[in-house]
């Protein structure tokens, strides 16, 4: 069990496109844009139960909604990725991934290990561990992913994705965004300094949950 399990199970029930694909210090999930509002409401309730005072909603990173629950000076991060461009041949989206996921015994929608490794490798071409885990499950998921028009014309699709995941030199154009109060704080150890919440309120939607 992790601190995220109750949240992930409720989000799974609320949103058919919600899929957990990474867990650790934060929760990384995929979700279609149409499901964001339902999941954000789940996060608000979960944050209140965790004793948080507010949830900040950030849309400054292309293709994702970042939800940050404020627990004192600690920031609890939930990333909802709708789509993930990562260079030619490296693309995944919430709906395509959800079609390959399953709901586990805890009620959380997840991917098989090989499929999860494919997304990790596409997301971070430097993830050597993920590249070593690519298998038939990864190949099956690659066939489900939406194909950019250029790849359709080149007939590259799933093979290009698997090759793209295997090479650590892929361009990662999705990193191009303007940092904000939220992304800066998350990059600095997920800590909120004095006055941070007021700074975030000036440029973000903030939901008070206490």
Could you state, in order of their start, the residue ranges of all structural domains in the chain?
5-175
- Indicate if the pLDDT at residue 103 is higher than 70: yes
85 versus 49: the higher-pLDDT residue is 49
Banded pLDDT at 133 (limits 50, 70, 90): very high
**Average pLDDT score over residue span 162-166:** 53
42, 59, 63 from 36: Cα distances, Å: 10, 11, 12
Q: How confident is the model at residue 177 (pLDDT cuts 50, 70, 90)?
A: low
Instruction: Indicate whether 154 pLDDT > 50.
Output: no
The structure's pTM equals 0.84
Q: Give the residue among 79, 75, 82 at the shortest CA–CA distance from 184.
A: 75
The per-residue pLDDT of the chain, averaged, comes to: 84
Contacts with 194 (C-beta within 8 Å, 6 or more apart), sequence order? none
Residue 159's pLDDT is 52
Over residues 14-26, the mean pLDDT reads 92
Q: Which of the pair, 146 or 12, is modelled with greater confidence?
A: 12
**Count of CB atoms within 10 A of residue 202's CB?**
8
Of the ranges 105-114, 115-124, 176-185, the best mean pLDDT one: 105-114
Q: Considering only 27-36, 78-87, 131-140, which range has the smallest mean pLDDT?
A: 78-87
Helix, strand, or coil (residue 157): helix
């Amino acid at each position: 069990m992790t601190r995220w399990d109750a949240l992930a199970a409720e989000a799974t029930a609320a949103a058919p496109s919600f899929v957990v694909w990474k867990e650790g210090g934060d929760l990384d999930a995929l979700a279609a844009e149409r499901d964001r509002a339902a999941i954000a409401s789940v996060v608000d309730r979960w944050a209140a139960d965790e004793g948080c005072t507010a949830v900040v909603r950030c849309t400054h990173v292309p293709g994702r909604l970042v939800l940050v629950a404020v627990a004192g000076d600690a920031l609890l991060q939930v990333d909802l990725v709708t789509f993930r461009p990562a260079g030619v041949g490296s693309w995944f989206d919430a709906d395509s991934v959800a079609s390959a996921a399953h709901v586990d015994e805890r009620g959380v929608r997840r991917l098989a290990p090989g499929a999860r490794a494919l997304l990790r490798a596409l997301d971070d071409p430097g993830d050597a561990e993920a590249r070593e885990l690519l298998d038939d499950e990864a190949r099956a998921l690659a066939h489900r992913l939406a194909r950019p028009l250029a790849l359709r014309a080149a007939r590259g699709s799933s093979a290009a994705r698997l090759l793209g995941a295997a090479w650590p030199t892929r361009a990662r154009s999705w990193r191009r965004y303007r940092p904000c109060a939220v992304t800066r704080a998350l990059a600095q150890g997920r800590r909120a300094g004095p006055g941070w919440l007021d700074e975030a309120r000036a440029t973000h939607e903030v939901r008070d949950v206490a």
